[in-house]
Amino acid sequence: MENFLSMKRGKMNYEIIKNTICRWMKSRLLETGCDGFIVGVSGGVDSALVSTLCASTGIRTIVVGMPINQEQEQVSRSLDHMKWLVDTYPNVEQKNIDLTNVYQSYMKTLSPVKMSELADANLQSRLRMCCLYGVSNTENSIVVGTGNKVEDYGIGFFTKYGDGGVDISPIADLLKSEVRELANFLNVSQEIIKAKPTDGLWGDNRSDEDQIGATYEELEWAMEYYDSSNSKDNLSSRQKEVLKIYTNRHVGTKHKLEVPPVCYISKELK
């Protein structure tokens, strides 16, 4: 591996970070007047960390598994993590909602439209969002996002109005490496922490890194390098390639983070 680890940060104070995030979540919940948190659990480290942080607040937390034609390995990690949360934290409730039939029915209804592979994948993410908000409204809870800093604010690697449709984002200022470190501190299973990151939307085992063309380690380097004033003259060919991948995605997905534009009409014309 090339110099993708050169920009190392200081050691995280895990206890302080955990307490800071938990206090922040409690304060945001208080502002809404709702009673608890709801979070989808996919079997990946991001949702495992967020659900554990929610549980650590001591506030009612509903964890929801929502498989859609997913690999059994991913489903098993999700179920095992939710069981661990329920067994460890008395404030956690578990719901398993298999959306496969809903998805298949939806696709049958949409059969006159030739759906692209990307549209198909995004549909699954949006179905999960609808499911979470259905439970959220019923249980007077807020939907907690699971996106990290690299995905959400770096390369926009999420579905607009899908997994990006949330009420709060507690780990959106943590890099992927920091997510893994904090998850390890909170005793999330090593199987989840070491699992290859995947969104589970493609009906196969392709990873996030397969889709992006770069590892999270490389993307963290590119994210910091992009925001710095360092010269690009001395970069290796791979570093230049990774920086290009990051830059194209960072610029091309900014619309996902913006409020939809409004066409304002002057009073004189109304």
Per-domain boundaries in the chain = 14-257
Query: 149 and 114 in contact (C-beta within 8 Å)?
Result: no
Can you tell me whether residue 168 is helix, strand or coil? strand
- Residue 164 token pair: 């990006």
Separation of alpha carbons 178 and 191, rounded Å: 17
The neighbouring-strand residues paired with 63 are 39, 94
Which pLDDT score, from 0 to 100, does residue 8 have?
Answer: 52
27 pLDDT higher than 50: yes
pLDDT digits (tens, 9 = 90+) for 209-224: 889 999 999 999 999 9
Q: Helix, strand or coil for residue 16?
A: helix
Of the two residues 221 and 1, the one the predictor is more confident about is: 221
Quick: pLDDT tens for 50-62. 999 999 999 999 9
Evaluate if residue 13 carries a pLDDT over 70: yes
| Predicted pLDDT at 1 | 40
Is residue 199 within 8 Å of 164, Cβ to Cβ?
A: no
Residue type, 118: L
Residue 203 in this model has a pLDDT that exceeds 90 = no
- Sign of CA pseudo-dihedral 229, 247, 128, 201: negative
Domain covering 14-257, topology: Rossmann fold (3.40.50)
